Structure 1
């Protein structure tokens, strides 16, 4: 194929990327700011110790949900892109139906398990965990969690704009609820209720907007046996298991770490660590859109057999994100000693070292955000799972010893080291896997 013939496809991909990146990037920036406002109000209301206890409740709920509710959105994007490219709309409809049923069933399992295990978790955490009742209440947030299916469908439809509006609306709801509780002088229990309310909204609202989008395109939920759906989507189960194993291993480092540290660190130190994590997550929102908008493009390029263009997209997206991170994060880190007490209260004046270490750790993770989606669509999900598993095992092996010696700063440093190891290995694997060559039996001409 000539370069002239290929140019319309390239131009179309660039337009989609820029349009989607503009929507997702701007919305994530707004959500990051709103999240920091919520964090500041919560921190001022509860102080370091109260924020530490709330962090444990949230981390317990999210850890249980992550372990027991694998998310099928990667499967929807990869196999859904193949079905839509082939014009097989019924196959797409069956795939979405199975994904939604999976989401609802596993959300129920996660909520029930979280409530049932709250007493055991409270025993490990002691007073820091806030008691079994608070842990059980927080666990109910996982009940209605159909967001993964909605995310996959809306991204395939290139409705990143709609998804961005939904996310901003949920972030505004969270700020509003936190502001009401803060103004009313609410205590820890009220903030746990806020966590449950906005988490349920986050799990339910996206699918309520997705179903009308499907109807507008002539699509509907088409029930079918899971065996049939698996047969017409080869590799579905493997991708579902490996992609979720990889994401679970990654996210447990950002969620289950708090649960483990609750048995080691005092509540105030946990509050400092949680502040560092939440600020790092806000920064992560600025880079995450690139991974979100490139995943469907990677899937389309693999479906067309265009590995050379995939490699170029991978390289330039990683380099561009790394340059942006240096420009943004370095000046902020230099002013952290003054910013933290001003924004979150004097109780967090000593958290600057922990925050800066965590910010560096998140920057390293963001630099490799596009390599993960590329490896998934290239069929290297098993290798990525092994890689992520190895770095996660290192992190958890070193976490508690480091926290006992250096406190919250030691725990943040293990995030930094683990992310550095992951980044180097992940980029090397992605660049190797994306070398231009025939894929899926494409014949050389």
Structure 2
């Protein structure tokens, strides 16, 4: 297990570092082309599209990994094939529903988001980006096959495509409309390409898509619907804090302040990419250990992965935060010098979130997805309740501070529940003696 884990972590970690770097270059070119106000409007359009997609397109990849691991461990290939087929159909149907809803609601959304102005057409165009989104199923399949290397190459290719499109628009002097088209193009590629590579991997292993009734698939995978709902409620609540926040702030902050907040968010997301691979790589391992009821190794993996990530974050992020007021104008232009405080606060918020990245996969693998959902729901509710009042008083810095407070509460609760869930039972210790 250790060799496989380290190999997968190396692939995913290196690819995410490359993607984060390419993403920051894309962000810098976009910021220089549009300025704070234009970047703020683009951020709202992207956030609107992703928020609608997140709400109406729950992702089934957690189900594919957990129940797919059980099926493959048991040698039941047909059960696995039926599960993947249902997951893919779910992705395609819900992706279509999200795109249609996003286009239909664009006019209504524009009325709230005063910072966007009269940009209903661009808002609707951005909403079509999630139309063909089969990536979640592909992620589950490729991770179960231990093809983290292939998924890493695909993701780096998509990041390069995005940078190439952004650079072309920047060189041509394109405006907001052109950058919205770039967003749609690379999002569609991100949704389709992983599945186009996953299908040949299935055929190579003698697997295929096997249609069956959803009722049958649910019956042979006990707890499937509960895991699908709870894992997605948890992820949706988490991601809405990273996407829907700017949609709400568009009715409170001016475009330039939104641009500063977007810079903080995107830099925070780039930092998050450096830690996210650990959660991606450990989930299949947690699922395998839970299927074998090996609590001791599961607890050890949880503790050491959390401690290792926390130490790495302290070494990497602290020096960068100390130079933030110099780095921002150099990278994004003098107009973004005022975003230094927001970026530093957001970096601290993301560091707290990354420190607990492996607790979620561990709890889901152990069947404690409901507890994870309750924790995330409570901290998200507190965040949104305080977001607009804080933004009205302190602007973009206040909004970033609410991310920090929310993540601190989330981390504390997750650690308490996760460590309790993997603690050996007294009866087990007596039996061992």
TM-score in same-fold range (> 0.5): yes
Residue 208 in structure 1 maps to residue 196 in structure 2: yes
The one-character-per-residue Cα deviations of 1:42-91 (angstroms, maximum 9, x if unpaired) are 00000000000000000000000000000000000000000000000000
Residue in 2 that maps onto 1:32:
20
Hey, which bits of structure 1, 4+ residues long, moved more than 4 A?
Answer: none
CA distance in structure 2 between the partners assigned to 1:114 and 1:202 by the alignment: 19
Residue in structure 2 matching 1:286, options 259, 268, 274: 274
CA distance in structure 1 between the partners assigned to 2:340 and 2:115 by the alignment: 26
Residue in 1 that maps onto 2:342:
354
Residue in structure 1 matching 2:177, options 180, 189, 192: 189
- Using the TM superposition, give the Cα deviation of residue 171 of structure 1 relative to its aligned residue in structure 2, in angstroms: 0.1
Q: Output aligned runs, 1:321-360, within 5 Å.
A: 321-360=309-348
- Using the TM superposition, give the Cα deviation of residue 34 of structure 1 relative to its aligned residue in structure 2, in angstroms: 0.1
Residue 232 in structure 1 maps to residue 220 in structure 2: yes
- Using the TM superposition, give the Cα deviation of residue 131 of structure 1 relative to its aligned residue in structure 2, in angstroms: 1.5
Is the Cα contact below 8 Å between 2:36 and 2:335 reproduced in 1? yes
Is the Cα contact below 8 Å between 1:307 and 1:437 reproduced in 2? no
Is the Cα contact below 8 Å between 2:115 and 2:254 reproduced in 1? no
The one-character-per-residue Cα deviations of 1:349-403 (angstroms, maximum 9, x if unpaired) are 1100000000000000000000000000111111110110000000000000000
CA distance in structure 2 between the partners assigned to 1:85 and 1:437 by the alignment: 25
Residue 104 in structure 1 maps to residue 89 in structure 2: no
CA distance in structure 2 between the partners assigned to 1:129 and 1:360 by the alignment: 32
CA distance in structure 2 between the partners assigned to 1:424 and 1:62 by the alignment: 28
- Using the TM superposition, give the Cα deviation of residue 126 of structure 1 relative to its aligned residue in structure 2, in angstroms: 2.2
Residue in 1 that maps onto 2:284:
296
The one-character-per-residue Cα deviations of 1:130-175 (angstroms, maximum 9, x if unpaired) are 5110110000001000000000000000000000000000000000
Residue 260 in structure 1 maps to residue 260 in structure 2: no
Distance 1:163 1:129, change over 3 A: farther
Q: Secondary structure at the match of 1:222?
A: coil
The one-character-per-residue Cα deviations of 1:226-283 (angstroms, maximum 9, x if unpaired) are 0000000000000000000000000000000000000000000000000000000000
Residue in 1 that maps onto 2:51:
63
- Using the TM superposition, give the Cα deviation of residue 129 of structure 1 relative to its aligned residue in structure 2, in angstroms: 5.2
Residue in 2 that maps onto 1:165:
153
In structure 1, list runs of 5 or more residues that go unmatched: 1-12
In structure 2, list runs of 5 or more residues that go unmatched: none
Residue in 2 that maps onto 1:8:
none
CA distance in structure 1 between the partners assigned to 2:120 and 2:179 by the alignment: 16
Is the Cα contact below 8 Å between 1:57 and 1:129 reproduced in 2? no
Residue in 2 that maps onto 1:433:
421
The one-character-per-residue Cα deviations of 1:260-318 (angstroms, maximum 9, x if unpaired) are 00000000000000000000000000000000000000000011110110000000000
Residue in 2 that maps onto 1:416:
404
Is the Cα contact below 8 Å between 1:129 and 1:262 reproduced in 2? no
Q: Secondary structure at the match of 2:33?
A: helix
Q: Secondary structure at the match of 1:424?
A: helix
Residue in structure 1 matching 2:112, options 115, 124, 139: 124
Q: Secondary structure at the match of 2:113?
A: helix
Residue in 2 that maps onto 1:150:
138
- Using the TM superposition, give the Cα deviation of residue 419 of structure 1 relative to its aligned residue in structure 2, in angstroms: 0.2
- Using the TM superposition, give the Cα deviation of residue 194 of structure 1 relative to its aligned residue in structure 2, in angstroms: 0.1
CA distance in structure 1 between the partners assigned to 2:424 and 2:33 by the alignment: 55
Is the Cα contact below 8 Å between 1:361 and 1:416 reproduced in 2? yes
The one-character-per-residue Cα deviations of 1:84-114 (angstroms, maximum 9, x if unpaired) are 0000000000000000000000000000000
- Using the TM superposition, give the Cα deviation of residue 127 of structure 1 relative to its aligned residue in structure 2, in angstroms: 4.3
Residue in 1 that maps onto 2:358:
370
CA distance in structure 2 between the partners assigned to 1:130 and 1:156 by the alignment: 46
Residue in 1 that maps onto 2:40:
52
Residue in 2 that maps onto 1:9:
none
- Using the TM superposition, give the Cα deviation of residue 437 of structure 1 relative to its aligned residue in structure 2, in angstroms: 3.9
- Using the TM superposition, give the Cα deviation of residue 435 of structure 1 relative to its aligned residue in structure 2, in angstroms: 1.1
Residue in 2 that maps onto 1:251:
239
Residue in 1 that maps onto 2:300:
312
Aligned length: 431
Q: Secondary structure at the match of 1:263?
A: coil
Residue 399 in structure 1 maps to residue 387 in structure 2: yes
CA distance in structure 1 between the partners assigned to 2:16 and 2:118 by the alignment: 31
Q: RMSD of the TM alignment (CA)?
A: 1.3
